[in-house]
């Protein structure tokens, strides 16, 4: 198969996978994984996972790390420090510790199925600690839960996981060193990473702002885009040849750009490259899955799927509850973060390339991660029913919210209901006030609701789902969108 035929095959498979997932209202990433399994060498064998394709797919991870770097800034981390460095730190550290011990125990109990050194177990623990940023954030955006109590905790944990990936990308290759050189390899990798990051972040921000300003003055979108690709891939190349990883350089590039006034323009420009190449990466991950091994060792696959999901669910729920969340919020946080993540695939592939995990073990682990991600949309979709079933106080809390909304709206007539009281919602409210039209606003951010109530605005905590429930219960209110 020549290059053009291979390219057409990948494009056709990607389009088909995304269309099917959109029809089923599932994340596109699951479609990429599925078509990778189907066209891969272990199924229809329409395409081979060649070195050139794998290297091209690595660019998807590069741009993913770049976009994550764009999201990091000190003010954001400071405002979410309790969730990021509290819940997030505990989740990653405890997951890695318990997963490492559990993997070694499983190797002792089932030596015929599971062979694992402590270095391999630690690398696998890092992969299992990750959750899917792409799936969870997408679903929370669609459900308008980004500013909810559980949404803030979920985002905080995902932010720390993204930070932990930077360290794990350095740690995993160092673990492959011989035992007598392990300490020196870890020390050297940490020293190189610290030195490189310090140099880039010390003077790199001013240099980046000066350079992007110089390029922007040329008023050429083509030149700005080319320059952006050069910076991202150039820093990735620099860190790779320093003995680290492509993804680490891309992350640093994103952090440097995030401190400039061009951040939002860059996010818009880089998105097509990020989405397409990341899709190619997930196709190549799917091609690694050997379904024959999965069928032969299905009890192990089932064990590797259920145990990590239940473990992360219970642990995150307990940690969130310990750090002050209500029972309902804690359980929702656990349900949203119980699955494996895309960076788990990255770390698993890196461990396999460094011979920390054998190919025979990779397929069951990979299959279990894919299955947990396939279950995630359904876990989130039915999260409210699950919480209502297991947390008795949640029904009362939601009833109080609905009663509050009903009390404030039932006495009004010919009013406008504003779903979301952010910048646009507040502007709409001011316009309605000038026209003498009554309104009631719903918002999921409790801090925003308190501030609005202090200012005398008619805002209550809730969302469109609460409103629909009230309407179904008999509250008749004209709604204008």
Per residue in 275-303, pLDDT (tens digit) is 777 777 778 777 777 777 778 888 888 88
Q: Do 377 and 27 touch, CB atoms closer than 8 A?
A: yes
Q: H-type helices in 146-220, by residue range?
A: 149-175, 182-216
pLDDT digits (tens, 9 = 90+) for 352-396: 888 888 777 888 888 888 888 878 888 888 888 888 888 777 666
Residue 453 has pLDDT above 90, yes or no: no
Give the closest residue to 95 by CA, choosing from 67, 49, 130. Answer: 130
Retrieve residue 406's tokens.
């009903």
Percent pLDDT > 90 in the chain is 8
Residue 52 has pLDDT above 70, yes or no: no
pLDDT digits (tens, 9 = 90+) for 219-250: 788 888 888 888 888 888 887 777 677 777 88
**What was the pLDDT predicted at 344?**
87
Give the closest residue to 257 by CA, choosing from 192, 217, 202, 207. Answer: 207
Name the more confident of 320 and 30: 320
Helices 327-337, 383-390: crossing angle, 10 deg rounding: 140
Can you say how many angstroms the Cα of residue 280 is from the centroid of all Cα atoms in its chain?
A: 17
Retrieve residue 463's tokens.
């969302």
3-state SS assignment for residue 443: strand
Residue 405 has pLDDT above 70, yes or no: no
Instruction: Give the Cα separation of 234 and 252 in Å (integer).
Output: 11
Retrieve residue 469's tokens.
């429930």
3-state SS assignment for residue 480: coil
**What was the pLDDT predicted at 400?**
59
Retrieve residue 200's tokens.
């880039």
DSSP for 23-91 reads HTT--HHHHHHHHHHHHSTTTT-SS---HHHHHHHHHHHHHHHHHHHHH--HHHHHHTHHIIIIIIHHH
**What was the pLDDT predicted at 460?**
60
3-state SS assignment for residue 214: helix
Least confident of 131-135, 162-166, 188-192, 345-349: 188-192
Residue 463: DSSP 8-state: -
Name the more confident of 469 and 108: 108
Q: What is the dihedral of CA 148, 149, 155, 157, to 10 degrees?
A: -160
pLDDT band of residue 474 (cuts 50, 70, 90) is: very low
Q: Name the strands in the sheet holding 416-419, side by side, starting at the edge strand that comes first in the sequence.
A: 416-419, 439-443, 459-461
pLDDT digits (tens, 9 = 90+) for 153-168: 888 898 888 778 878 8
Give the closest residue to 437 by CA, choosing from 453, 422, 458. Answer: 458
* Residue labelled with tokens 């969108």: 481
Q: Per-domain residue ranges for the chain?
A: 3-390, 392-472
**What was the pLDDT predicted at 471?**
44
Name the more confident of 435 and 313: 313
**What was the pLDDT predicted at 98?**
92
pLDDT band of residue 90 (cuts 50, 70, 90) is: very high
Please, what CATH class does the domain formed by 3-390 belong to?
Answer: mainly alpha
Instruction: Give the Cα separation of 35 and 293 in Å (integer).
Output: 18
Residue 173 has pLDDT above 90, yes or no: no
Strand partners, 439: 416
Q: What is the mean pLDDT of the chain?
A: 78
Instruction: Give the Cα separation of 367 and 347 in Å (integer).
Output: 15
Q: Do 150 and 329 touch, CB atoms closer than 8 A?
A: yes
Terminus-to-terminus CA distance in the chain, angstroms? Answer: 53
Q: Do 154 and 136 touch, CB atoms closer than 8 A?
A: yes
Residue 467 has pLDDT above 70, yes or no: no
* Residue labelled with tokens 């109080």: 400
* Residue labelled with tokens 């991600």: 373
Q: Do 64 and 274 touch, CB atoms closer than 8 A?
A: yes
**What was the pLDDT predicted at 481?**
33
Give the closest residue to 425 by CA, choosing from 465, 452, 455, 456. Answer: 452
Q: Do 337 and 311 touch, CB atoms closer than 8 A?
A: no
Q: Do 252 and 200 touch, CB atoms closer than 8 A?
A: yes
Retrieve residue 389's tokens.
């079933």
Label residues 393-416 b or e (16+ Cβ within 10 Å = b).
Answer: ebeeebeebbeebbeebeeeeebb
CA angle 9, 13, 14 (to 5 degrees): 115
Instruction: Give the Cα separation of 481 and 471 in Å (integer).
Output: 15
Name the more confident of 200 and 276: 276
Least confident of 132-136, 374-378, 407-411: 407-411
CA angle 242, 246, 252 (to 5 degrees): 85
For domain 392-472, give its CATH number from 1.20.1250.20, 3.90.1170.40, 3.40.50.620, 3.40.50.720.
Answer: 3.40.50.720
């Amino acid at each position: 198969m020549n290059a053009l035929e291979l390219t057409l095959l990948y494009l056709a498979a990607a389009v088909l996978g995304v269309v099917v997932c959109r029809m089923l209202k599932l994340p596109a990433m699951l479609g990429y994984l599925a078509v990778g399994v189907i066209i891969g060498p272990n199924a229809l064998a329409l395409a081979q996972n060649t070195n050139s394709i794998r290297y091209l797919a690595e660019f998807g991870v590069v741009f993913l790390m770049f976009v994550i770097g764009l999201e990091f800034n000190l003010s954001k981390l400071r405002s979410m420090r309790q969730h990021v460095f509290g819940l997030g730190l505990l989740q990653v550290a405890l997951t890695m510790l318990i997963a490492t011990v559990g993997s070694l125990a499983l190797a002792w109990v089932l030596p015929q199925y599971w062979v694992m050194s402590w270095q391999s177990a630690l690398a696998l623990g890092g992969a299992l600690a990750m959750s899917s940023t792409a799936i969870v954030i997408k679903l929370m955006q669609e459900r308008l839960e980004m500013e909810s109590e559980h949404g803030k905790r979920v985002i905080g944990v995902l932010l720390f996981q993204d930070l932990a990936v930077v360290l794990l990308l350095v740690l995993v290759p160092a673990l492959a060193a011989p035992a007598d050189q392990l300490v020196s390899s870890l020390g050297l990798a940490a020293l190189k990473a610290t030195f490189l990051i310090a140099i880039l972040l010390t003077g790199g921000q001013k240099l980046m702002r000066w350079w992007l300003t110089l390029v922007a003055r040329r008023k050429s979108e083509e030149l700005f885009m080319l320059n952006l690709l050069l910076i991202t891939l150039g820093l990735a190349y620099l860190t790779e040849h320093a003995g680290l990883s492509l993804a680490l350089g891309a992350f640093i590039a994103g952090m440097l750009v995030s401190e400039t006034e061009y951040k939002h323009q860059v996010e818009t420009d880089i998105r097509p490259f990020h989405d397409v190449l990341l899709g190619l990466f997930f196709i190549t991950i799917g091609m690694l899955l050997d379904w024959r091994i999965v069928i032969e060792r299905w009890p192990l696959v089932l064990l590797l799927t259920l145990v990590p999901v239940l473990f992360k669910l219970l642990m995150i729920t307990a940690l969130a509850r310990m750090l002050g969340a209500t029972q309902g919020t804690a359980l929702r946080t656990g349900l949203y973060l119980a699955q494996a993540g895309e960076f788990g695939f990255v770390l698993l592939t890196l461990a396999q390339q460094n011979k920390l995990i054998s190919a025979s073990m990779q397929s069951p682990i990979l299959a279990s991660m894919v299955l947990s991600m396939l279950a995630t949309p359904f876990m989130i979709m039915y999260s409210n029913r699950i919480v209502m079933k297991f947390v008795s106080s949640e029904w009362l809390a939601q009833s109080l919210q609905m009663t509050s909304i009903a009390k404030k709206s039932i006495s009004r007539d010919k009013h406008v209901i504003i779903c979301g009281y952010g910048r646009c919602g507040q502007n709409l409210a001011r316009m309605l006030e000038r026209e003498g039209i009554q309104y009631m606003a719903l918002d999921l951010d409790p801090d925003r609701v308190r501030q609005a109530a202090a200012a005398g605005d008619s805002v209550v905590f809730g969302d469109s789902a609460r409103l629909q429930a009230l309407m179904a219960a008999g509250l008749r209110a004209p709604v204008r969108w």
